[in-house]
Amino acid sequence: MPATPADQPSSGRIPAALARGAAVAHPFLLLAAVRTGPYRSTELRLFLTAVSVGLVLPLARRHPLAALVPLLAGLLAAATTRPDAALLYLPVLAADAVVGRIAVQRPLRVLVPTALGALAVQIAAATYTTSGQDVFVSTVVALALALLTAGLLGRSVRERRDHTAELRAATTAEAVAAERLRIARELHDVVAHSIGVIAIQAGVGRRVIETQPAEARNALATIETTSRETLAGLRRTLGALRGAAADGRPAPRDPAPGLADLERLAASTADAGVRVEVRHLGNPDGTLPPEVDLAAYRIVQESLTNVVRHAATPTCRVTVERRTDTLLVEIADDGRGAPGAEPGGGYGLVGMRERAALLGGSLSAGPRPGGGFHVTALLPLPEGASTP
Per-block average pLDDT, block size 10, for the chain (388 residues)?
45 64 74 66 78 81 85 84 81 88 89 90 85 83 90 90 86 73 69 71 76 78 75 68 49 67 85 86 76 87 84 87 90 71 57 83 87 90 61
For the chain, domain boundaries: 7-129, 275-388
pLDDT at 382: 79
pLDDT at 337: 58
pLDDT at 327: 92
| Predicted structure pTM score | 0.47
pLDDT at 10: 44
CA distance linking residue 175 with residue 28, whole number of Å: 56
pLDDT at 324: 84
CA distance linking residue 262 with residue 258, whole number of Å: 7
For 278-322, how does the pLDDT look when each residue is reduced to its tens digit (9 = 90+)? 998 877 666 788 888 888 888 998 888 888 887 788 889 999 998
DSSP H stretches of helix in 34-132: 42-54, 57-62, 64-79, 89-105, 108-129
pLDDT at 253: 52
- Which residues, other chains included, contact 183 with Cβ-Cβ below 8 Å and sequence gap of 6+? 237, 241
pLDDT at 387: 47
Burial of residue 8 (CB within 10 Å: 0-12, 13-18, 19+) is exposed
CATH homologous superfamily of 275-388 equals Histidine kinase-like ATPase, C-terminal domain (3.30.565.10)
Return the SS3 of 5.
coil
With both helix axes pointing from N to C terminus, report the angle between 42-54 and 89-105 in degrees, rounded to the nearest 10.
Answer: 20
Angle at 32 between CA 41 and CA 21, to 5 degrees: 135
Q: Which amino acid is at 89?
A: Y
CA distance linking residue 236 with residue 233, whole number of Å: 5
